[in-house]
Amino acid sequence: MEAILNDITKLKVDAIVNAANNSLLGGGGVDGAIHRAAGKELVMECRSLGGCKTGDAKLTKGYNLPADFIIHTVGPIWRGGYNAEAELLARCYRKSIQIAVAKEFESLAFPCISTGIYGYPKDKAAEVAVKTCSEELENSSYKISSLNIIFCCFGQDDYDIYQQILNKS
Ligand code: ADP
């Protein structure tokens, strides 16, 4: 697992994860950037998926992105922390990794799900992300070394938080 500071739409990996909304039809933030970079065919495929529940994840092709596939997941909206936000956020990371393992992907890049428009505190979200991903890699029968997980931070603040957590784990 590693953290990088980059625009996720620029990464040439097997799959990038999109922090989408329940409609899967595009939105602001990273979702908007991914749809713009992937092109119109993405929304056509997304329309056929019938939306996505919070904490669930669905796979599409990457179209014009350098990444081959996109795993769309819907993070929770932060409502103070007592509304199952941590469990729902953990489920986003778990489900995305399960799809990547099932497809035998070797590289998977996550944005900082829920920490933009959805308001999840950045440090708390990063703790959930790193803990869930390392647990899921250990639980899967997939060789840990076979899936490289990249936390793609868009701001220096997020990057610093991830570096600190990864360095102590
Ligand atoms: P959410 O609705 O889940 O909060 P946002 O897209 O608003 O989703 O924000 C999630 C995270 O994605 C934020 O940390 C934001 O800075 C980041 N982000 C926005 N654009 C990009 C991008 N092009 N590449 C990587 N991360 C991005």
Taking only the tens place, the pLDDT of each residue in 134-164 is 999 888 765 556 899 999 999 999 999 999 9
In the chain, % of residues over pLDDT 90: 93
- Start-end of H helices in the chain: 29-38, 40-47, 85-102, 122-139, 156-168
**Could you give the CA distance from residue 77 to residue 65 in angstroms, rounded to a whole number?**
27
Q: How far, rounded to the nearest angstrom, does the alpha carbon of residue 146 sit from its chain's CA centroid? A: 18
**Could you give the CA distance from residue 46 to residue 52 in angstroms, rounded to a whole number?**
10
Identify which of 17, 61, 59 has the alpha carbon closest to the alpha carbon of residue 39.
61
Residue nearest to atom 1 of ligand 1 (CA): 114
Q: Are 58 and 38 in contact (CB under 8 A)?
A: no
Identify the residues whose C-beta falls under 6 Å from ligand 1: 7-9, 19, 29-31, 33, 75, 111-118, 152, 154-155, 158
Q: What tens digit of pLDDT does each residue of 82-141 get? A: 999 999 999 999 999 999 999 999 999 999 999 999 999 999 999 999 999 999 988 876
Identify which of 140, 124, 109, 142 has the alpha carbon closest to the alpha carbon of residue 5.
109
* DSSP-based three-state secondary structure for 159: helix
Ligand 1: atom nearest CA of 8 is 24
- The per-residue pLDDT for 143 is 57
Sheet with 69-73, edge to edge strand ranges: 2-5, 148-153, 107-110, 15-19, 69-73, 57-61
Q: Are strands 107-110 and 15-19 parallel, antiparallel or unpaired?
A: parallel
**Could you give the CA distance from residue 58 to residue 18 in angstroms, rounded to a whole number?**
10
Residue nearest to atom 7 of ligand 1 (CA): 116
Instruction: State both tokens at 96.
Output: 């995305």
Ligand 1: atom nearest CA of 152 is 25
What does the CA dihedral 75, 19, 93, 106 come to, rounded to 10 degrees? 170
Ligand 1 mean position, distance from CA 155 (Å): 9
